[in-house]
Amino acid sequence: MAGLFVCAVVCAVIGCKGKDDAAKTQAAAATLDKPCEEIAKACGDSPKHVDKIIADCKQAATTQAAKGCTDKASALYACYMKDTCGTGDKVWALDDLRVLAERHGKCAAERTAIASCEK
**Number of domains, the chain:** 1
Contacts of 36 (CB under 8 A, 6+ apart): 53, 54, 57, 58, 61, 77
Question: In which residue ranges of the chain is pLDDT below 50?
Answer: 2-17
pLDDT of residue 23: 72
Range of the domain at 107: 2-118
Phi, psi of 31 (to 5 degrees): -65, -20
Tell me the per-residue pLDDT of 90-116, one tens digit each, with 9 for 90 and over: 899 999 999 999 999 999 999 999 999
What pLDDT shows up at residue 41?
93
Please report the pLDDT score of residue 19 as a whole number: 60
3-class secondary-structure state, position 90:
coil
Nearest Cα to 101, choosing from 76, 75, 118, 74? Answer: 76
